[in-house]
């Protein structure tokens, strides 16, 4: 079996170095999975290691399954005896055996996220706490973060700094909820996902005999995607490898993009401190991408200070230059991307599955989806629902449908008690039964509520019907966007989503704003003569008709960059490269945040095999307004040697130029548009003590500091529904209007 001859020298070194601590720095496209697979096969086949003594930890079941299958092909069925799987699956297996030591039965239940949220809702209700303050998402996220840092509820309650944080966040009862949550889990003989790691740490800490048992069992410990481990995961693996010291970690610090899930890049950056005799092997040859793509990716990541230095290279062809697309709007950006896919596919006989569109936030899929539909190009959303199938979008669309057609039963059932207005399932059932028994429309029952219901339900239904009538009156004299904006605000949907400050909540709020943007674009388009809400709904109904073959796997892939990690495509479009979108406005509070965003950009570019397109729009609809957009700072950081500005597809692209010395195509470095005559934009470094202030009392005349725009003076503060905005004159950037729910401002005393 000559599997070693297929490896390059560095890959072979990583495979043959089996004893002692080893760190394999695996650059993008460097054949990491192949090396891991052959390394395990080598341990078993050449070194005679018992497969039961090998522990290999991954982050997805798919990765573990794929590796097992590959090892089986190399050495046969023995491969099945390795302990291989995700952290959660492997340690759940150990906990099943050792559960009695922690007071659990071996058949304990594992709660998923929805189970956990349901339990938290019950606890909040029992404690008579405000469920708008203690939202399940927020509470669960806080508890999860504590467990990942190995903070028990006892430590949580006794830590004055943690308590101070909760009080500052106006959630002083968080510790009590955590305590009750854990007690109820234990009483139910249940663990949540985070408990599987937390309790494994407790098991090894409190029972040295058990720890020793597994230390002896696992002579060889391997961890894939090591840059994505959190504190809890790292400590478990470190303890297990403490006796034999045969620990092999594989990863790439340049692809560490999951800090929001608790991943700690310091685990890989500081690994050598824990293992002074560490051997490091760098896999630097990229087998995936062209030279132009590899060099471009290198020029991006080189700007990060916190990194393990490596020189990624490839023997592949130079390939085509990276195409930079400048669109006038997000709508045009979608059209250009769809047109490019259509043309490349037909001229080069490519498949839809050769193409991927990557974006920073899920809400960006809307313009791409609509453009692809119009070109009749099949696609799928990965890691998320199609834009118009997302709950928050369906909720608002149901309101709009019911305003247009108050006989729409499905729309009625969806909206009558959302947001909650005291009309329960029993009342809804009575309304439906009454409509059927009296052979009248639901709307007739609703408008004569007191004849069919009594008490609070009848009163609430009367209020509901008055609200719908007012929306219907608006529809007779206003365009689709004006009506939809009114519905979104007065129905309470926007307020409900706005008050959820978790990442999921912010995404849902952004998605509803994106739907309003779509309606605004529809109204503003000269192609649409009729601007009514009914006309818009008809177009969307036709647009979203599921007439594509669901079994057809030849589809263009749309996904967030986070979801794309580990994948590869021949043609990749990275869209929405604009300031405050990518890098995200929420990730500019520190150099660490910004470097994570840059790593995310690096991950996006390294998904491409043959062609890479980067696009941005000059204007984008956000919050119902057409806003001017500034090109992302990341575009400035690209080495212009490998870039070509696309003049063919967008008329606006021809105006996009790289001023300076003549180089490739005469373009050198990206120049951002002038912000205002006579004002030069300078890079601002936030003050050392920069910390965003509470802007509830922000007033005209105050001096503020923004992490990107620097110092400025508040000109005006406006309130429009849930959206508080401030107009600020910045010394180096001129006038800016910022949405205060997202802007990070420090009020200067």
CB 283 within 8 A of CB 241: no
Per-residue pLDDT band for 694 (boundaries 50, 70, 90) equals confident
674 by DSSP, 3-state: which? coil
Q: What percent of the chain has pLDDT over 90?
A: 42
Active-site choice (401, 607, 744, 746): 607
pLDDT value at residue 680: 36
Predicted pLDDT at 369 = 93
45-86 pLDDT, tens digit each = 888 889 999 999 988 777 777 888 888 888 887 777 888 888
Per residue in 561-609, pLDDT (tens digit) is 998 988 999 999 999 999 989 998 888 778 888 999 999 999 999 999 9
The question of whether 33 is a catalytic residue gets the answer yes
In DSSP notation, 547-578 reads: -S-TT----EEEEEHHHHTT--EEEEEE---B
Q: Residue 410: is its pLDDT beyond 60?
A: yes
Long-range contacts of 201-210, Cβ-Cβ distance < 8 Å, separation of 24 or more = 201/150, 201/232, 201/235, 201/236, 202/102, 203/94, 203/95, 203/98, 203/101, 203/102, 204/236, 204/239, 204/240, 206/101, 207/98, 207/101, 210/98, 210/101
According to DSSP, residue 606 is labeled: T
- Measure the CA–CA gap between 513 and 613, rounded to whole angstroms: 27
Distances (CA, A) of 2 to 71, 77, 183, 323: 14, 19, 56, 42
Please tell me the distance from the alpha carbon of residue 650 to that of residue 321, in angstroms, as a whole number: 18
Q: Which secondary-structure segment (H or E) carries 256?
A: none
The residue behind tokens 């078993």 is 44
For residue 722, what are the contacts with CB-CB under 8 A and spacing of at least 6? 489, 494, 495, 498, 741
SS3 613: strand
Is the distance from CB of 72 to CB of 66 less than 8 angstroms?
no
Contacts of 305 (CB under 8 A, 6+ apart): 591, 595
Active site residue 255: yes
Active site residue 703: no
Is the pLDDT higher at 219 or at 649?
219
The pLDDT assigned to 534 comes to 83
Among 166, 192, 194, 224, the one annotated catalytic: 224
Active-site residue, selected from the candidate residues 32, 142, 366, 401: 32
- Percentage helix, strand, coil for the chain under 3-state DSSP, each rounded to 5: 50, 15, 35
Query: Can you tell me the mean pLDDT for 101-128?
Result: 83
652, pLDDT greater than 50: no
In angstroms, the CA 153 to CA 237 distance is 24
Say how far apart CA 430 and CA 113 lie, in whole Å.
33
Among candidates 88, 113, 81, which has minimal Cα distance to 96? Answer: 88
- Tell me what the mean pLDDT of segment 657-662 comes to: 36
Comparing C-alpha atoms, which of 177, 183, 170, 187 is closest to residue 141? 177
C-alpha dihedral, 632 to 634 to 637 to 640, nearest 10°? -70
Cα–Cα distances in angstroms (integers) from residue 530 to residues 376, 517, 524, 526, in the given order? 24, 17, 11, 10
Distance CA 256, CA 561 (A): 12
Q: d(Cα 254, Cα 646) in Å, to the nearest integer?
A: 28
As a whole number of angstroms, the distance between CA 373 and CA 354 comes to 17
For residue 201 the two structure tokens come to: 């740490």
Give the model confidence (pLDDT) of 634-648 as tens digits: 998 888 888 888 754
Catalytic residue among 82, 200, 255, 605: 255
pLDDT band at 282 (very low <50, low <70, confident <90, very high): very high
At 25, list the tokens: 């720095």
Backbone angles phi and psi of 710, in degrees to 5: 85, -145
More confident residue, 519 or 106: 519
392 in catalytic set:
no
Mean pLDDT score, 393-405: 90
Residue-level pLDDT at 458: 87
Could you tell me whether strands 746-747 and 703-706 are parallel, antiparallel, or unpaired per DSSP bridges?
A: antiparallel
- Whether 691 is catalytic is no
Question: Which residue is it, tokens 């818009």?
Answer: 536
pLDDT digit string (tens) for 229-265? 988 999 999 999 999 999 999 988 888 888 877 788 8
Which of 239, 223, 199, 240 is closest to 95 using CA atoms?
Answer: 199
Q: Is 195 helix (H, G, I), strand (E, B) or coil?
A: helix
476 labelled catalytic:
no
Q: C-alpha dihedral over 304, 307, 313, 318, to 10 degrees?
A: -20
pLDDT of residue 661: 30
Query: How much is the average pLDDT of 441-465?
Result: 86
Q: What is the pLDDT of residues 344-360, one digit of tens each?
A: 999 999 999 999 999 99
Average pLDDT of the residues in 153-175 = 90
Question: Of 81, 8, 9, which Cα lies nearest the Cα of 41?
Answer: 81
Kind of pairing, strands 608-622 and 569-574? parallel
Q: From the candidates 192, 225, 344, 521, which is the catalytic residue?
A: 225
* Residue 28 phi, psi dihedral angles, 5° rounding: -60, 135
Average pLDDT, the chain: 85
What single-letter DSSP state applies at residue 525?
Answer: -
Strand (E) or helix (H) holding 511: helix 503-524
> Taking Cα atoms as reference points, which of 266, 310, 304 lies closest to residue 28?
310
Identify whether the C-beta of residue 369 lies closer than 8 Å to the C-beta of residue 386. Answer: yes
By percentage, how much of the chain surpasses pLDDT 70? Answer: 91
Three-state SS at 673? coil
């Amino acid at each position: 079996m000559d599997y070693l001859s297929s490896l390059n020298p560095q890959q072979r070194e990583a495979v043959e170095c089996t004893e002692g601590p080893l760190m394999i720095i695996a650059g993008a496209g460097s054949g990491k999975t192949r090396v891991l697979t052959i390394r395990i096969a080598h341990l078993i086949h050449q070194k005679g290691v018992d497969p039961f003594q090998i522990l290999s930890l991954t982050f997805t079941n798919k990765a573990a399954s794929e590796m097992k299958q590959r090892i089986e092909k190399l050495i046969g069925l023995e491969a099945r005896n390795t302990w291989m799987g995700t952290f959660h699956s492997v340690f759940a297996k150990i906990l099943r055996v050792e559960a009695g030591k922690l007071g659990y039965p071996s058949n304990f239940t594992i709660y998923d996220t929805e189970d956990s949220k349901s339990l938290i809702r019950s606890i909040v209700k029992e404690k008579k706490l405000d469920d708008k303050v203690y939202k399940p998402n927020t509470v669960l996220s806080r508890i999860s973060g504590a467990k990942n840092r190995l903070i028990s509820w006892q430590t949580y309650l006794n830590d004055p700094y943690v308590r101070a944080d909760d009080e500052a966040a106006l959630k002083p009862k968080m510790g009590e909820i955590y305590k009750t949550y854990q007690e109820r889990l234990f009483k139910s003989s249940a663990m949540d996902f985070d408990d599987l790691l937390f309790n494994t740490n407790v098991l090894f800490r409190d029972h040295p005999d058990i720890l020793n048992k597994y230390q002896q069992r696992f002579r060889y410990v391997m961890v894939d995607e090591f840059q994505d481990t959190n504190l809890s995961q790292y400590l478990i693996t470190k303890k297990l490898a403490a006796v034999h010291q045969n620990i092999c970690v594989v990863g790439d610090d340049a692809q560490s993009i999951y800090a929001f899930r608790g991943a700690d890049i310091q685990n890989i950056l500081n690994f050598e401190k824990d293992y002074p005799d560490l051997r490091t092997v760098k896999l630097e040859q990229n087998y995936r991408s062209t030279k132009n793509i590899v060099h471009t990716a290198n020029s991006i990541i080189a700007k990060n200070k916190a990194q393990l230095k490596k020189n990624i290279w490839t023997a592949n062809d130079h390939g085509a230059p990276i195409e930079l697309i400048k669109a006038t709007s997000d709508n045009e950006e979608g059209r250009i991307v769809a047109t490019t896919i259509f043309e490349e596919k037909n001229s080069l006989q490519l498949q839809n599955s050769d193409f991927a569109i990557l974006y920073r936030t899920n809400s960006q899929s809307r313009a791409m989806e609509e453009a692809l539909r119009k070109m009749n190009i099949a696609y799928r959303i990965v890691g998320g629902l199609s834009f118009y199938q997302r709950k928050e979008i369906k909720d608002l669309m149901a309101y709009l449908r019911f305003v247009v057609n108050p006989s729409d039963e499905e729309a009625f059932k969806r909206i009558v008690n959302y947001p909650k207005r005291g009309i329960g399932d029993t009342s809804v059932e009575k309304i439906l039964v009454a409509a059927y028994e009296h052979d009248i429309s639901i709307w007739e029952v609703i408008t004569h509520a007191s004849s069919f219901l009594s008490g609070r339900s009848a009163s609430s239904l009367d209020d509901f019907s008055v609200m719908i009538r007012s929306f219907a009156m608006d529809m007779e004299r206003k365009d689709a966007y004006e009506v939809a904006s009114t519905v979104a605000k007065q129905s309470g949907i926007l307020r409900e989503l706005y008050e959820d400050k978790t990442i999921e909540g912010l995404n849902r709020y952004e998605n509803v704003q994106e739907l309003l943007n779509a309606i605004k674009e529809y109204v503003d388009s000269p192609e649409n003569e009729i601007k009514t809400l009914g006309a818009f709904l008809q177009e969307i109904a036709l647009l979203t008709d599921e007439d594509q073959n669901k079994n057809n796997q030849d589809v263009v892939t749309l996904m967030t960059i986070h979801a794309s990690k580990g994948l590869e495509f021949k043609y990749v479009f990275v869209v929405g490269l604009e300031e405050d979108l990518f890098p995200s406005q929420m990730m500019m509070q520190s150099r660490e945040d910004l470097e994570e965003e840059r790593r995310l950009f690096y991950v996006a570019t390294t998904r491409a095999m043959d062609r890479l397109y980067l696009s941005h729009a000059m204007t984008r609809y956000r919050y119902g307004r057409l806003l001017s957009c500034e090109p992302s700072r990341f575009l400035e950081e690209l080495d212009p040697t490998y870039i070509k500005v696309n003049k063919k597809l967008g008329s606006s692209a021809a105006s996009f130029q790289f001023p300076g010395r003549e180089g490739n195509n005469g373009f050198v470095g990206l120049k951002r548009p002038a912000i205002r005559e006579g004002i030069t934009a300078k890079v601002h470094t936030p003050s050392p003590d920069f910390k965003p202030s509470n802007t509830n009392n922000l007033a005209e005349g105050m001096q503020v500091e923004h992490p990107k725009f620097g110092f400025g003076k508040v000109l005006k503060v406006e309130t429009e529904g849930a959206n508080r905005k401030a107009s600020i004159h910045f010394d180096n950037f001129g006038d800016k209007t910022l949405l205060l729910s997202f802007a990070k401002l420090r009020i200067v005393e």
